[in-house]
Structure 1
Amino acid sequence: MHAGHHYTLKEVLLWTRREIMGVFVLALVPTVLYAGLGWHWLAMPWVPIALVGTATAFIVGFKNNATYSRLWEARQIWGTIVNISRAWGVPVRDFVPPLPAESSGFADVRQQLTYRHLAWLTALRFQLREPRAWESMTQAANAEYSQLYRVTERDGSLADELQRYLTPADAAYVLSKKNRATHLLGLQSKQLKELADNDHLEMFRYFELVRQLTALYEQQGKCERLKNFPYPRQFATINLFFARLFVCLVPFGMLQEFEKLGGHFVWLTIPFSMLVSWIFLTMERIGESTENPFEGGANDVPITALARTIEIDLRELLDEADVPAALQPVNNILM
């Protein structure tokens, strides 16, 4: 997400410069033909173009409202994950006895359960950053802008990340599965059952911790729904077609309108057509860049930073000293 006051005009113009060049050509050609070569038959009445513009405005507004809802839902889901993670860390610290862990790499079983939760967060965010065919990060402008910040899940390896939190046996088991996050919660449930079966965990405390695992499964499922079901393609398609149709028609409708002001005013068709077209295309691009909140774009929910916040909280609950620092924005972008 953008963590500054707002995007600067320079950043927006840089991001949309390809559209600006395109609408410049679309405005220049008919204006030159109309004013320079006298092709007055190119002019179109403004009323039907305005009707197309009205329909385009409605459909663009509908899409932007829907994509914002997807973004805000994703943020609410991860806010809930933050809260459940804390509600997991405190009972693990207070309910689970300090028994020896399965591996010498952990201080006790409480640390192992906490670190496995951090591994779940890691696996989940890596899964959510996997590309999908409908996502827009492969577009030239988005790929270019992504060079200004770092997406940890693209630059790093899940296997390397999991080694920080899991035993070698657990890491090998999880990496052999397709949905790694699901199986990490399964390992949590398995270890809790072993503790309860050996009378190390009272049943009502066991059920409370299992309830937190169930809640985490629910939030993971919500994330996967947003990740794997895009904004409906039929609406995205009609939005794109309407916007491009309107942009192509705008200069033809403005020719006569500016000619009414005087002979040379017809050349104002170029800048004003560009302005109107740029507004509609930029609105369409903003909606497109908002509809996939986990794709690794500059407007994503900052799941990497939120996962780091959770890690800090849980490791401080264990009174660890070497707690990592919170992530900071890079060029105002926080991932």
Structure 2
Amino acid sequence: MYIGKSYNIFEFLTWTKAKIYTLLFLGFIPVCLYHIFGVKWVAIPWSVIAMLGTATAFILAFKNNLSYNRSLEAQEVWTTILSNSRSWGLVSQDYIENNEASKTLIYNHLAWITALRYSMRTYQSWETTDKKHNINYRKHFKIPEQQTTLEEELAEYVKPEMLENILKARNTATYIMSLQSKTLKSLYEKQEITVAHFIDMEKSIKEFYNLQGKSEHIKHSPFPRQYNIINNLLIQSFSFLLPYGLLADFNKLNDSVDGFMKGNMIWLIIPFSCLISWLYASIAQVGENTENPFEGGANDVPISQISFQVEAELREMLGEASIKDLSIHQNNIIL
């Protein structure tokens, strides 16, 4: 998540520079054909461009709205995880007099949220982290889950004999939560927790499972590919045809100017067509990098930061100091 006031224009231009170069080239070709080689028939009516631009704007707005909704849903899920985790830390201490048992329940929960955030960072084929513009931009920040392994992180919370089985599990977060439930059952059988408290905490586990499922649904369900291909086709078609639709109009401007620019107004098509197409393409690129809110991009939901915050607050409840630095942000980016 970017926490600055705004990206600066230089950052944004750098992030989209590949598209700028392509659009400048696409604008140069029709101008050369029309102005230098005299191929006048390449000019197309502006009405065609207007219709195509309108259709592109509609589908672009639709796609970006869906992308934002996915990101917003992901933010809501992890905000709920944060709130419920605070409640879990509270009841783990208030319901159980055995301090060691309380600590086990809290540490198991920290292990669960750690396993969940690591699973959210796994690469999916439809994500955009492997695209060149995102690879280049990642020099501004580091993804915490790529700095340490899951095994190293979980070793802080669970016993070595349990860690091996957890790492072998198909879904580590699910397995850890099942261990949490078994721990609760054991406490109930030992009469260290009342039936009312046992039921209440089991309901909390069910809620955590629901939140995990919602998070996994967003992670493993890509934005509908049918809308994605239509969006790309429209933007590419519009960007390619736009300079051809401007040829006749810019050529007419030569009649109203004098001096150096007379006869050369048509060359202005290159920067203006690039600017217009760049705006469309940039909006599309922003939407593309918003639709996968856990992939490890600069605009992602800060699940690592939320996890670190949960750990800091729950450790504080236990009277321990957090080993995670919550103040860290890299170039106004928190993950």
Pair 93,236 (structure 1): closer, same or farther in 2 beyond 3 Å: same
Are the counterparts in 1 of residues 311 and 322 from structure 2 also a CA contact under 8 Å? no
Q: Identical aligned pairs, as a percentage?
A: 40
SS in 1 for 2:115: helix
Equivalent in the alignment of 2:39 = 39
Structure 1 counterpart of 2:257: none
Matching residue of 1:269:
269
Query: Structure 2-normalised TM-score?
Result: 0.96
In structure 2, what residue type is equivalent to 1:192? L
Q: Does 1:61 align with 2:61?
A: yes
The equivalences for 1:3-152 within 5 A come to 3-98=3-98, 108-152=100-144
More off after superposition, 64-73 vs 40-49 = 40-49
Query: Any conservation in 2 of the 1:44–1:252 contact (CA below 8 Å)?
Result: yes
Amino acid at match of 1:19: K
Deviation (angstroms), 1:323: 5.1
Does residue 1:154 correspond to 2:134, yes or no?
A: no
Q: What is the SS of the residue equivalent to 1:174? A: helix
Give the C-alpha shift of residue 327 in structure 1: 4.2
Q: Which amino acid in structure 2 is aligned with residue 40 of structure 1?
A: K
The CA deviation string for residues 44-74 of structure 1, in whole angstroms up to 9 with x for no partner, is 1110111011000000000000000000000
Kept in 2, the 8 Å contact 1:305–1:327? The answer is: no
Matches within 5 A, 1:233-312: 233-262=225-254, 263-312=263-312
Aligned to 1:194: 186
Asked if the contact 2:166/2:176 (under 8 Å) is kept, the reply is yes
Q: Deviations over 1:3-52 (max 9, x none)?
A: 11111100000000000000000001111221122111111111011101
C-alpha contact (below 8 Å) 1:305/1:326 kept by paired residues = yes
AA of the residue aligned to 2:60: V
Name the CA distance, whole Å, in 1 between partners of 2:322 and 2:332: 27
User: Measured at CA, do residues 264 and 322 of structure 1 come closer, stay the same or move farther in structure 2, by a change above 3 Å?
Assistant: closer
Question: Which letter maps to 2:197?
Answer: R
Match of 1:102 in 2: none
Please tell me whether residue 319 in structure 1 is matched to residue 319 in structure 2. yes
Distance in 2 (CA, whole Å) between partners of 1:180 and 1:321 is: 26
Match of 1:179 among 148, 165, 171: 171
Deviation track 1:227-279 (CA, whole Å, cap 9, x = no partner) reads 01111000011101110010000000011111111132111111100001100
User: Aligned partners of 1:149 and 1:287: how far apart in 2?
Assistant: 20
Distance 1:321 1:154 in 2: 24
Task: For residue 144 of structure 1, report the CA deviation from its aligned partner.
Answer: 1.2
C-alpha contact (below 8 Å) 2:312/2:321 kept by paired residues: no
* SS in structure 1 at match of 2:223: coil
* Long gaps (5+) in structure 2: 255-262
**2:208 is equivalent to residue 216 of structure 1:** yes
CA separation in 2, counterparts of 1:322 and 1:64? 38
The farther-off stretch of 149-158 and 225-234 is 149-158
* C-alpha deviation, 1:325, in angstroms: 2.8
Report the CA distance between 1:98 and its aligned residue: 1.7
CA RMSD of aligned residues (A): 1.0
TM-score (norm 1): 0.96
Q: 2 CA distance for matches of 1:196 and 1:109?
A: 11
Moved over 2 A (4+): 321-325
